[in-house]
Amino acid sequence: MALQIRAKETVQADFGEIGTTGVFIAHTQANQEISMNLLQQNGFRALTYQEAFVKLDQNPELKEQLKGRWLYLDGKGSELSGFYISDEKGELTKIAGPSILKKGKGDLEKIVFVLKGSEPLSLLVQTDDFARYGGFRFGIYATYGHSDVAGVVVGVRVGRVEK
């Protein structure tokens, strides 16, 4: 579906489901407003960060498709900052940092770096190399503005609530 941005500009969004995850992705670069409009016009909504972590944990194919990609999530602003570990419900618990991995007490695939701010929430799924080097797979940021362009638009069907 094409979204009219200005009189002469349109953005195409062809959403496809990743496997049987219930998560749909459009390889369309879009800022926050356009991302949310494209999702809405196609019967989707943005994922919450909890839904994203549950889906990514349960679906290796989804994680693989999103590695190295940055996208907008549902929500705005975060008071959290630092390193966290995500549980099976996608909830975050503060940890000392990626050094926990060196002690054999952490799982790189569950470590999240959060940067507080008042902007829309976004998610970066790190590549394998960066995750190993940086000590975390996921980054949640509330620091990028509405006009920053994400590399993909990701959502789930409206009315679908993940547990």
18 in any annotated domain: no
14 in any annotated domain: no
Mean per-residue pLDDT of the chain = 87
Which domain does 99 fall in, by range? Answer: 27-154
Closest listed residue to residue 122, CA positions, set 60, 44, 160, 66: 66
Number of structural domains (the chain) is 1
6 in any annotated domain: no
119 in any annotated domain: yes
36 in any annotated domain: yes
Q: Per-residue pLDDT tens for 112-142?
A: 999 999 999 999 999 999 998 888 999 999 9
89-97 contact pairs (CB < 8 A, 24+): 89/50, 89/54, 90/48, 90/49, 90/50, 90/51, 90/52, 90/53, 90/54, 90/57, 91/50, 97/135
4 in any annotated domain: no
- What band does 107 get if pLDDT is binned at 50, 70 and 90? confident
